[in-house]
Structure 1
Amino acid sequence: MVNVTKILYPTDFSDPSACALLYAAEMAKKFNAELIMLHVLLDESQMVSFYLPQLTVKNLSKDMEDGAKAKMEEFIEETNALEGIEYSTAMVKGIADDEIIKFANEKNVDMIVLGTHGRTGLEHVIFGSTAEKVVRSASCPVLTVHCPNSD
């Protein structure tokens, strides 16, 4: 029997991500698993710091972190999906797919559930897909959720 005790749900607070939360929550209920909600922030090295004084970039980073914390709280409040589920939240800085994989490994999660954005054409060729990169690199099963209205 498959033993799932920890599920990682990375979110960027988008509509596809909100749709994936329904699946992550349902999986957590079915397996009586802990759900870890993760948001990855850009770190200072990914910001265009050579155009801005360092102090401004630091303030921007702090503002982004505060905004993400508020958005996470709002995101949780807007859903009834988490009722009766043991969950926690976390934020890290870095490149989304790298940080998701790293976090999953460090926390020994049994499954990752994340939304897709359905990038197509040139955007997909240039940027790829966070979900695709996570699927290719994760050491645990990954459920990707594509919501019909997310294109």
Structure 2
Amino acid sequence: MFTTILLPSDFSGCSAEAARAARRLAECFGSRLIVLHVLDEPAALDPMFRGEVPLELLRGRMEQYAREGMEAFLKAHFEGYSGVETRMASGVPYREIVREARECGAGLIVIGTHGRTGVERVIFGSTAEKVVRMAPCPVLSVREGGKGKEFIHP
């Protein structure tokens, strides 16, 4: 049913919940699974957030964190699954997720729903909400804490 499943991840607990759901779906459907991590450059590159840290140093640290995070995430959630690929992107997360879904021909996006809360969420909205609105394919949003994953059976 889904030849390609896109799993955006920030390596958080909520992304781990989404990874479990994505893997089970991929195994059920024999899908190729693409794990995408987006370096959120717009926020990180703003001088207000980075202070006096040189831009090149910050970008290098972000990329190193992303490589290490992806390696650990794959080991924790996809060991033994041969149909997984990884992608890295830089930019505004929801835009990069939607772009990647179009480029890879994703039949489904599985995304964790956590993220911004309070005032920040009111001002900016959530990445998951924006992906749901703009995605070229169905989106399965997964909440942290195990709620809503009962639909997947072994």
Q: How does the TM-score come out when normalised to structure 2?
A: 0.84
Alignment partner, residue 123 of structure 1: 120
Matched, 1:72 2:70: yes
- Give 5+ residue unaligned stretches, structure 2: 148-154
| Number of matched pairs | 145
**AA of the residue aligned to 2:55:** V
Alignment partner, residue 56 of structure 2: 58
1:62 Cα deviation after fit: 1.5
Alignment partner, residue 110 of structure 1: 107
After alignment, is 115-124 or 66-75 more displaced? Answer: 115-124
Query: What do the CA deviations read for 1:74-93 (whole angstroms, capped 9, x no partner)?
Result: 111223x4423400101000
The structure-2 alpha-carbon separation of the partners of 1:34 and 1:128, relative to structure 1 and needing over 3 Å to count, comes to: same
- The percentage of aligned residue pairs carrying the same residue is 42
Decide whether the 8 Å contact of 2:26 with 2:32 is kept in 1.
Answer: yes
- Give 5+ residue unaligned stretches, structure 1: none
- Tell me the secondary structure at the aligned position of residue 106 of structure 2: coil
The structure-2 alpha-carbon separation of the partners of 1:147 and 1:44, relative to structure 1 and needing over 3 Å to count, comes to: closer
Counterpart Cα distance in 2 of 1:101 and 1:118: 17
Counterpart Cα distance in 2 of 1:78 and 1:41: 21
After alignment, is 35-44 or 65-74 more displaced? Answer: 35-44
Matched, 1:91 2:88: yes
Counterpart Cα distance in 2 of 1:121 and 1:83: 39
